[in-house]
Structure 1
Amino acid sequence: MKKTAYIFVLMLILSACTKDLTSLNVDPKNPASVPSFSLFTEAERSMANTLTSSSVNLNIFRLIEQQWTETTYLNETRYQLPSRNQPDNIWSALYTGALANYQQAKTKLVTDVTDAGTQKNETAIIDILQVYTYFYLVTTYGNVPYSQALDINNPFPKYDDAKTIYNDLLARLDKDIAALNPSAGSFGDADLIYKGDSAAWKKFANTLKLKMGLVIADSDNAKAQSTVQSAVAGGVFTSNADNATFKYVSSPPNTNPIWVDLVQSQRHDFVATSEFLSYLKPNTANQDPRLPYFFAQSSNGVYAGAPNGSGNGGLVFSQYSLPSGPLLTPGSIGSLTNPDFPGLLLDYSETEFNLAEAVQRGYITGSVAAHYNSGVTASITYWGGTAAQAATYLLQPDVAYLTASGTPLQKIARQEYVALYNRGWDAWILTRRLDYPVLLKPAKAYTDFPVRFTYPVSEQNVNVTNYTQASSAIGGDDVTTKLFFDKF
């Protein structure tokens, strides 16, 4: 009797195990089907993290643009790009983390979203962000995979001509702007930038178009002018309320990457450069009101910067100003080292400087000085300063548009460069296309100032034929090879 009972219990156990065996084939962390909105959210997150990051393994543009310098490991400050494979990491982050997920979301929403108006809006928003992502790829590397880039069945895509890509990106923006319908539905909370607001995305697309038009001003003046005029007519940012920001939260894992890189990782080896501080504090009497929001005081109670790339890796960080700011003051977005500090992707201040440049170039009518003043004011108030502080700052002879030194475009570039603090990637695009401010390479630099990133080592080793053709087409896979828009 006992034996019979034992066999019965054993059969029950085996039966139960048999039922559970099929569930072992299901990976709960890698679902077989992912809704389009989840793919879209992940793509936004990956894109924003890449552009916001301060990791020495990824986004080193604050160092290249001499906003920050290193005190311990000087490789990135001295332009030794291959040491940590930043070209590979950026390439992978933008193609795999952002573009591939956007493309999958675009494909899946055709069946996920049944409402025609919502489907049309979501498709346009995804495409706008694909254009935005490709903009950084093509202005970083030059010729890149484009027409064959997102085909999973083609592991060896060809590289397309950078200028051809750029013109197609502008054409795509036009179609997306025309497709957006503010009265129809969209992503809602799955969109972590504008909450699915189609009207906001239309304004974003026109503002991006304005920016992209000016990037090609020296290489295709006629195309630049028509692009700028079309963008302005369509409606661009008019206040800081329009800014495209990615909202981070105070608890991991969706925290501000700078907090992750500097605070959570307990890194203290990034400090202000004396060169950048010279723009913010030219003398003891005059101080940019953004300075306390950009940097902390040194242990000596002063704002102090280290010469870019100086020393032998043994500078004492406490003697210099670290990237930081007030934890929170009325009207302030807080310290850039706070875990919930937002990632800024496109903003009103930059837009006003672009409008000032467009007027100066004769593309549109208006007042260069008025747009210049609005750009400075927008930046100061965004960081936490007041309009009154901005007005006082603009009275300084070396800041006021009429009396500041340099050509009109140099005056604009100088203030836009300051306003692009913490957006080193965009500052890099600015200084390459306007050749101002002039950033001298640091002592013991491994190369001259990089005007592009080299292609990833992975491409050189795997996609050999297409890599070789692309390298030859752009004039050589070197950091000193100027890209199609960088003519002077």
Structure 2
Amino acid sequence: MKKIFSILTIGSLAMLTSCINGDEDFNNNQSQPYEVPAEPLLTNAQKELMDQMETPSVNLNVFRFFQHYLATTIYRNDARFNFTGTRKVPDNMWLALYTDVLGNINQAKKIIPSEIKPTLTPQAAWDKQQANKLAILNLMEIYTYQVLVDSFGNVPYSEAAKPETIVLPKYDDAKTIYADLIARLNSIIATLDAGYPSFQTGDNIYNGNVADWIIFANSLKLKVGINLADVNPTLAKQAVESAFAGGVLLNNATNSLFKYDATSPNFNRLYAEVIASNRNDFVAEKGIVDVMNTLNDPRRQFYFTTVSGSYVGGTVGLTNNYNDNSHIGNSLLAPNKPGLLFDASEVNFYLAEAAARGYSVGDTAQKYYEDAIKRSMEQWGVSTSDITTYLANPSVVFSPANWKQSIGQQAWIAMYNRGFESWNFYRRLDYPVLTAPNAVPAAAGKVPTRLTYPINEQTVNGTNWSQASSAIGGDKLTTKVFWDIN
């Protein structure tokens, strides 16, 4: 089986296809790789990325605790932000993204140039198709690096995913990485050509539809650009406005959905960790429940179950009784519920923020703010009349004078099942106001503003880890990533 390497450790990865060799001695050669096509590598990279962003596993993804979406019934330390004990959450996330996502993407990028052109396909058309394939792989790579930077700060980038030549990669400056991601996105957007195909199989998000991937690319540039608004307003404005002009994801019809299957092991990770595992580890958290109760938010019936007809939340960082609190809503627990890498609500909130900052994005901050709420509610099946009533609530009506609070609060509610994206909104806008009274001392009583580097990096890649830690101001949960300056 083809081995995919992390930047530091070796990890074997089960591929979705296999090959047969007629040589009876072939299986005795343990170093002989199978020839794996690019398509299953892309599928696996997409799945591993979506699994990491979607899972509620306390070993992998703790952002729902950061954002007061979930509380625990058993594993209190995880909800108190103790990630360096037996869990080693940063190590697991780092390994998943570098090995299981970037490792597969890197291998697929090597395969594309060696693919054989079908006899009847003109060379020019084949070149366009192959360019589209590489562009899609690069988009997945850029999305993953954005997640890594936003989680840790400075990370291996220019020397990463090169295990054959670089075993201990240096850490690149996060600000420099961001600028390069925008430059790469500009190149990719210019390369993608909707007049030609891309992957015929293997793309489990857009089924190879290049027009949809162009929208994804522009939306990703918008996302990266808006994060720079407070630290590099010139580049931010340029990136955001050009992304909007190129066409971004405004309606749910083009949401970036990863299609899970209803059978093991390919079902939705919430279902896997809650229903299939028969676990009672999570309850809804008091912070989000109380706010939505106050607003009479019609999404509560989809987000949560009830306790004697009421929505009740537990407290993050404490041990909570499972039967006394609301649970994750049943609508979120279908085995084949799609995962989301982008949705229209998220993108419209970015545009609302851009308009509020004075960028030229075609409409007002209020219009995009209301559209973001509408797209969220439509996605959950809320009726038009209930949406209208909600938008008329004085506590929901957009405030131009306090636009950060308006957008921050409503994005927090809309991103309920997307903890990482919610964390980015929170760190950039500083709303809603979230507390962490039960946090471990390492978090200084606050919601973490970054993840600490993996323990494995300290022990194996110590020199580069030490330099990176010093460069960002210390390897601490309270250190801020470069774009979070407020």
User: Which residue number corresponds to residue 329 of structure 1?
Assistant: none
Distance 1:222 1:57 in 2: 39
Deviations 1:341-360 (A, max 9, x none): 11011110011111111111
User: Which residue number corresponds to residue 303 of structure 2?
Assistant: 294
Contact 2:81 2:439 in 1 (8 A): no
Q: Are residue 79 (structure 1) and residue 81 (structure 2) matched?
A: yes
Distance 1:360 1:220 in 2: 16
User: Which residue number corresponds to residue 6 of structure 2?
Assistant: none
User: Quick one: which of 471, 480, 483 aligns to 1:485?
Assistant: 483
Q: Which amino acid aligns with 1:289?
A: P
Displacement of 1:416: 0.8
Deviations 1:314-351 (A, max 9, x none): x32011000123xxxxxxxxx11111011011110011
Distance 1:442 1:307 in 2: 10
Displacement of 1:238: 2.2
User: Which residue number corresponds to residue 132 of structure 1?
Assistant: 143
Q: Are residue 441 (structure 1) and residue 433 (structure 2) matched?
A: no
1:26/1:340 Cα in 2 relative to 1: closer, same or farther (>3 Å)?
farther
Summarize the alignment of residues 157-306 of structure 1 with structure 2, pairs less than 5 Å apart: 157-282=169-294, 286-298=295-307, 300-306=308-314
TM-score by length of 1: 0.89
Q: Which amino acid aligns with 2:382?
A: G
Contact 1:64 1:76 in 2 (8 A): no
Distance 2:363 2:23 in 1: 72
* Alignment gaps of 5+ in structure 2: 1-21, 118-125
Select the structure of larger CA radius of gyration.
1
Distance 2:71 2:452 in 1: 22
Q: Are residue 147 (structure 1) and residue 158 (structure 2) matched?
A: yes
User: Which residue number corresponds to residue 318 of structure 1?
Assistant: 323
Summarize the alignment of residues 79-118 of structure 1 with structure 2, pairs less than 5 Å apart: 79-83=81-85, 84-112=87-115, 114=117, 115-118=126-129
Deviations 1:11-54 (A, max 9, x none): xxxxxxxx9952542679x9521111121111111111111111
TM-score by length of 2: 0.90
Distance 2:386 2:260 in 1: 28
Find the residue that maps to 1:160 and give its secondary structure: coil
Distance 1:95 1:23 in 2: 30
User: Which residue number corresponds to residue 397 of structure 1?
Assistant: 394
Q: Which amino acid aligns with 2:39?
A: F
User: Which residue number corresponds to residue 455 of structure 2?
Assistant: 457
Find the residue that maps to 1:345 and give its secondary structure: strand
Distance 1:250 1:408 in 2: 41
Distance 1:137 1:113 in 2: 34
Distance 1:125 1:444 in 2: 40
Contact 2:51 2:269 in 1 (8 A): yes
Distance 1:441 1:169 in 2: 33
1:113/1:468 Cα in 2 relative to 1: closer, same or farther (>3 Å)?
farther
User: Which residue number corresponds to residue 466 of structure 1?
Assistant: 464
Contact 2:223 2:350 in 1 (8 A): yes
Distance 1:36 1:385 in 2: 40
Superposition misfits of 4+ residues, deviation over 3 angstroms: none
User: Quick one: which of 458, 461, 475 aligns to 2:473?
Assistant: 475
Q: Which amino acid aligns with 1:439?
A: L
Find the residue that maps to 1:50 and give its secondary structure: helix
1:485/1:236 Cα in 2 relative to 1: closer, same or farther (>3 Å)?
same
Distance 2:140 2:53 in 1: 13
Displacement of 1:442: 2.8
Displacement of 1:443: 2.5
Q: Are residue 337 (structure 1) and residue 348 (structure 2) matched?
A: no
Displacement of 1:445: 3.4
Distance 2:197 2:30 in 1: 33
Find the residue that maps to 1:75 and give its secondary structure: helix
Distance 2:274 2:323 in 1: 14
Q: Which amino acid aligns with 2:28?
A: N
* Alignment gaps of 5+ in structure 1: 1-18, 326-334
User: Which residue number corresponds to residue 331 of structure 1?
Assistant: none
Deviations 1:333-388 (A, max 9, x none): xx111110110111100111111111110011522211111110100010121222
Find the residue that maps to 1:344 and give its secondary structure: strand
Distance 2:26 2:374 in 1: 60
Find the residue that maps to 1:281 and give its secondary structure: helix
Find the residue that maps to 1:188 and give its secondary structure: coil
Q: Which amino acid aligns with 1:316?
A: N
| Total equivalences in the alignment | 451
User: Which residue number corresponds to residue 384 of structure 1?
Assistant: 381
Q: Which amino acid aligns with 2:468?
A: A
The root-mean-square deviation of aligned C-alpha atoms, in Å, is 1.7
